[in-house]
A and B are shown apart, each in its own frame.
Chain A
């Protein structure tokens, strides 16, 4: 740690403000709590909102896992983890989802179900799901207050009219505790059902947009959809109707990244969650499916 830098980088007033905003976020599930959001020494958009949450919440002796795109070793995860280790002496880090007490993630929720004694911090670029239908924040705040999400439903309806499909791929609008609709961060649709009744607290931090919100433990989280057009996760079935498997561990129930094999030119699939993939390799066979 550089001379003069204190535990957690931020000054104590900033950390206190973030903790208070987090408490408010838990108390009002899905409500976007504004906070002042300090500038961090990494770019806005690189996870400064999640980082401020982690730095304000972590203490010595606690076990941290940082992932980006499901991987502990991607450049941004490495960068964030190194910074947190540098500014928070005495904390422990791990790549294991089972061992972690606090998990900071960008774009993924781990495949392994989280527990009550864990919490997940998600990095958020766009906190407001209404931004696709209303550009003024002042007006959006009113719509949220009145739980008026009709324009989002109209957007979904228009998608069906135009394409016969809902086109929202990630950042799928999700209604929390029957009131506020949140942007669950750019997690794939695959991860959205994990928010529902999650035993672990999920905190979402948007640094640039200066908002903190939460899905408290055991809270209803429901992706918006229509009775006759249900919400669907990403499809990993091949043309023959076979569920694709991870080329490394053989798992058939995880979110897959696809690659083009540079020698054969064929599409290859592999687990996006690297810790999950390692675990499946050790077990030798994929366990029961999380999703059908």
Chain B
């Protein structure tokens, strides 16, 4: 038979699954399968990214997702999201106050001396990006010794658990408007239960970006940083740590801690404007704010989100003058699950639509040639 029929799809899929799985094991010899704890610890930042984009805080399943996706962060986040679709919602926490975060790292680029001090913590920011050849053939003994010796001679009480927020100092100075409790009190928009119908509230924008894809957020935020926008951001505070999660006790109703989630939080102070709040400072020039937060340790994402939040607030108020200020442009294009899915779908058969395209092209060419001769 000369032509190719669309047959044997089922067999092809099974074969494809099998060879994908084989590639995971092809190292052969005495290779060990990856265990999920290794992924969570030694691929810590990839793991953070997957939990954040998946929108589910489940460290063990995030590791499993990375393992089965063979390290593809988009695929892994996708598996976590699909898992969430099968889970009913049992309870909702109230808004959590990040003042009580157990901090592992916090910095401010606005002030040298911040209340509580700067704490650099774990970061690659000041690493020389030189290849660490010693890790190529790392001895397990040395590897274990680093962990074993880490707390020797360190006083765990030396570093406080929580720090005051940098923004509070700026508020006290009158450079930022006072917190408006009326603004923060509303029910946050739930993007997992409601579609985005524009215009959307700021909480919907924040939630969408919190599980947005890092590269997508960065690219659009970078356009704003470079010149398609004038946010002029300064990182007032960037903090990484563990945020206690509370739920009301089923009997007493008192809030009780049920666990904690690692998050990264960023507050940027941006270009000042006349204050719009209906208080005694109305009309006074004040700095403006942008906020970013996501699961896990992911600073590029939190900073990008904070910059976009500031841009979007302006776009929602005055209309967008740049792509990064346009809520539809930003919010409908930063989701990694949506965008990678649609990109991938182009690999599927499009025989029928292409047949139809050829029909139009041939008809149009025929018209063109007719015109040519006259």
Chain A residues engaging chain B, CB cutoff 8 angstroms: 4-6, 9-14, 34-41, 43-46, 48, 68-71, 73-79, 82, 107-108, 125, 135-138, 141, 163-171, 186-190, 208, 210-211, 234-235, 247, 255-264, 268, 270, 272, 274
Q: Judging by beta carbons under 8 Å apart, are A5 and B338 in contact?
A: no
Among A35, A107, A137, A168, residue most surrounded by chain B Cβ atoms (within 10 Å)? A107
Specify which of A137, A138, A169 is in contact with B357 (CB 8 Å cutoff).
Answer: A169
Closest CB in chain A relative to B262 CB, distance in Å: 23
Q: Return the CB mask of B4-20 against A: 1 if under 8 Å, else 0.
A: 11111110110000000
Given A43, A82, A260, A274, which contacts B340 in the complex, CB threshold below 8 Å?
Answer: A43
Q: Is B179 an interface residue (CB 8 A)?
A: no
Query: Is there an interface contact between B338 and A169, defined as CB atoms closer than 8 Å?
Result: no
Evaluate whether A38 and B85 lie within 8 angstroms (CB atoms) in the complex, with A82-B10, A138-B328, A165-B367 already known.
Answer: yes
Complex Cα distance, B352 from A189, in Å, reads: 10
Contacts of B358 in A (CB 8 A): 258
Q: Within the complex, which residue of A4, A5, A75 is in contact with B9, where a contact is CB–CB below 8 Å?
A: A75
Instruction: Kindly identify which residue among A48, A167, A272 contacts B364, using a CB–CB cutoff of 8 Å.
Output: A167
List B residues at the A interface (Cβ < 8 Å): 2-10, 12-13, 78-79, 81-82, 84-89, 192-199, 328, 332, 337-338, 340-346, 348-353, 355-360, 362-364, 367-368, 371
Number of inter-chain CB pairs below 8 Å: 181
Measured in the bound complex, the distance between the Cα atoms of B367 and A166 in whole Å is: 11
Q: 5 interchain pairs (CB within 8 A)?
A: A35-B195, A73-B9, A77-B9, A107-B352, A235-B359
Chain B residues contacting A259 (CB-CB under 8 Å) are 2-4
Whether A137 lies near B328 (C-beta < 8 A) is yes
Closest to A13 in B: B88
Cβ-neighbour of A107 out of B7, B353, B360, B368 (below 8 A): B353
CB atoms of B10 and A170 under 8 A apart: no
Return chain B residues, CB-CB under 8 Å to A208: 338, 341-342
Interface pair A170/B353, CB less than 8 Å apart: yes
Given contacts A41-B79, A78-B13, A268-B2, contact A257 B328 (CB under 8 A): no
Which residues of B are found within 8 Å of A46, using beta-carbon distances? 341, 344-345, 348
Please determine whether B9 and A44 come into contact, CB atoms closer than 8 angstroms: no
Q: Compute how far the CA of A135 lies from the CA of B195 in the bound complex, rounded to whole angstroms.
A: 18
**Nearest CB in chain B: distance from A110 CB, A:** 13
B3's partner among A4, A6, A247 (CB-CB below 8 A) is A247
Known: A75-B12, A165-B363. 7 other contacts (CB 8 A): A6-B86, A43-B345, A45-B343, A137-B328, A208-B342, A210-B195, A270-B3
Quick one: given A74-B9, A257-B351, are A188 and B86 in contact (CB under 8 Å)? no
Q: A69 contacts which of B3, B4, B6, B84 (Cβ < 8 Å)?
A: B6
